[in-house]
Amino acid sequence: MPEENKVEASVDSPFDKEGGGSTGAPNQSAEVEKAEVIPTEEVATPEVATSGDTETPAPEVASTPASVDYAKYAEMAETPSANERRKFDYVAMSGSVETEVVTTDQGEFEQRKPAIAFKLFLTKDRDTNDQVQSEEIALPLTVVPIKYRMVMEQRAGAKGEILVLKSSEFNGKTTDLVTVNRFSPEGKVVQTYGPMTSLEARNKFVDADDKKLLRDKAHVYSMVGEDLVRFVVKGTGLWEMESDLHKGKTPASQAKHPFLKNYLSEFAIDNPYFLYEMEVNAVYRDHGSIKYYRPTFTKGARITQAVEDVVLAHLEDLYKYFAEMDEETKAFVPTTAPVAPVAEEAPVLTTPTGTAPAEDGEY
């Protein structure tokens, strides 16, 4: 990656490159033990004037929102936490490139189909064929990002369809504690490792050539329309990879088609990303044998006061919920001796309740 493309980060920034290039919103990662309760200004209910048997509502008085300390909410948005237990509908952009044959006066030719996003309704029952209900979403897609999270995964198969390892969610810091689940080919958790820091996890799971197996994936809890969803961004959209596929990229192309990390770096702690819509679109990438659509992210309009109220309520709820999950990760105690190296036969671990942490391992 060209030197001019790199984003400098503080030691505690979610953009810390140590351990694999984790990302997040810069300079918003202050550690907090307990969030203070932010008082909400009470708005008096307008009195109703009465005359005889007829009630005439008094004129509505426009209320001015109390000054909001966005720095406190930014701390909530960037505070480390871990395993999820709730179900969230899943939204992502498809990187697959499909073609279709088009017939014109000049004859037939093949062209690329437009990139699309899709939504998986994980909060709903499966359909009559026992499949997750889903729908396609046209691009560009408008989302309001609320809380940035990360997981690390190892996948196998020609299209990464087989989940092998998956960490609990974390904030992107090398010091965040995680557990790591190993999955059977059927998608069932067969072993749990940890707790360990995310850096320790990256260094633990390696192949015979000492190549790290875990890859980052962002979970951006966001509003899409009126729904709170888990918006997922895979590695190609997180940052410019330092690989042969991307060495030809120029700073100008990165500025024109920003990665998620570059997008989040635009915001300051007193003007955080969750106050703005984020426009998600796609750019086509052709690296010879590898062709794909990569998501791009641009800043949209500032959200209205009504939407902001909903966003901040979601953020407070998610902050408290993930803090509880973080405590569960810290409290994880193996029932046997520490696990053996990955290449060896390792003992099966369980949580204090006797079952592996709940994960939606299929996705």
Long-range contacts of 205-212 (CB under 8 A, 24+ apart): 205/154, 205/165, 205/180, 205/342, 206/342, 208/343, 212/20
The reply to whether 350 falls in a domain is no
Residues 252 and 13 sit within 8 Å (Cβ to Cβ):
no
The reply to whether 239 falls in a domain is yes
How high is the pLDDT of residue 57? 52
**DSSP H helices in 167-266:** 198-204, 235-238, 251-256, 260-264
Return the SS3 of 241: coil
DSSP state of 275: G
The reply to whether 339 falls in a domain is no
How high is the pLDDT of residue 324? 85
The reply to whether 363 falls in a domain is no
The reply to whether 26 falls in a domain is yes
Helix and strand tally (H, E) in the chain? 6, 15
Q: What angle do CA 78, 92, 216 make, to 5 degrees?
A: 50
Domain extent, residue 16, equals: 7-32+65-331
Compute the distance between CA of residue 127 and CA of residue 124 in angstroms, rounded to an integer.
9
How high is the pLDDT of residue 256? 63
Cα atoms in the 13 Å half-sphere on the side-chain side of 151: 27
How high is the pLDDT of residue 164? 93
Total domains in the chain come to 1
Compute the distance between CA of residue 156 and CA of residue 160 in angstroms, rounded to an integer.
5
Compute the distance between CA of residue 256 and CA of residue 27 in angstroms, rounded to an integer.
24
The reply to whether 86 falls in a domain is yes
The reply to whether 348 falls in a domain is no
With CA atoms as reference, report the closest residue to 280 among 268, 265, 297.
Answer: 297
Compute the distance between CA of residue 284 and CA of residue 139 in angstroms, rounded to an integer.
13
Structure-token match 């984020």, residue found: 278
How high is the pLDDT of residue 357? 35
DSSP state of 58: P
Tens digit of each residue's pLDDT, the chain (363 residues): 444 443 333 333 333 433 343 333 434 433 333 334 444 444 444 444 444 444 555 555 445 456 788 877 777 666 544 444 688 999 999 888 888 888 888 888 888 899 999 999 998 988 888 899 999 999 999 999 999 889 999 988 877 778 999 999 998 889 999 999 999 988 898 999 989 999 999 999 999 999 999 999 999 999 999 999 999 998 778 865 434 344 445 445 555 677 888 888 889 999 999 999 999 999 888 878 888 899 999 999 999 999 999 999 999 999 988 888 878 888 887 655 444 444 333 333 333 233 333 334 344
Does residue 46 have a cis bond before it (omega within 30 degrees)?
Answer: no
The reply to whether 344 falls in a domain is no
84 class by beta-carbon count within 10 Å (0-12 exposed, 13-18 middle, 19+ buried):
buried
